[in-house]
Amino acid sequence: MIFNLALQYVQNTSDAEEITQDVFVTVHQRMDSFKGDSTISTWVYRIGVNKCLDFIKAKKRAKRFAFVTSLYRDDTMELAHDPPDFDHPGVLLENREDLQRLFGFINQLPDNQRTALILHKIEDQSQSDVAEIMGITVKAVESLVQRAKANLLKKIHEVNEG
């Protein structure tokens, strides 16, 4: 469950494994802080979402640093990093490029929209479970999912027209 969640965020098996391990280490360390206000799975999902978002933010910071440092090299103006690998098991080779593009658009969404969309539409969590995981109302989840879909459609149309 956590591995699949992480995989939806990072689309890379080794990164998803790293996040999954980090989640369960955190769960073990914080087990005494679980109050029982929600189900254990909701609590673990919430930790998983936070770990995924933290991982993505750290990776973006590393990319920005690599970009900035590359600007000052005398020998080259190339970026010092490669784009992330799209290594998602179960995706047929011929569908990989389209799915990679879609996840690229999903990754551009604001964190709250991306989280609501991944949990509800990809992980198939109910809106009430998503609301509990994210600590927001069901109406807010509906709104985030609708905005995420609208933003994705806008990005897809921009690419198709451009």
User: Which CATH number fits the domain that encloses residue 23?
Assistant: 1.10.10.10
Amino acid at 42: T
Q: Give how many domains the chain has, as a whole number.
A: 1
Model pTM score = 0.63
What pLDDT score does 24 carry?
97
Mean pLDDT of 148-158: 91
User: Percent of the chain scored above 90 by pLDDT?
Assistant: 56
Structural domain including 34 reads 2-161
Q: Which residues of 140-156 are buried (b: 16+ CB within 10 A; e: fewer)?
A: bbeebbebbeebbeebe
pLDDT tens across 52-101, in order?
A: 999 988 887 666 545 444 434 444 444 344 444 555 555 555 566 777 78
What pLDDT score does 58 carry?
85
Q: Higher pLDDT residue, 74 or 102?
A: 102
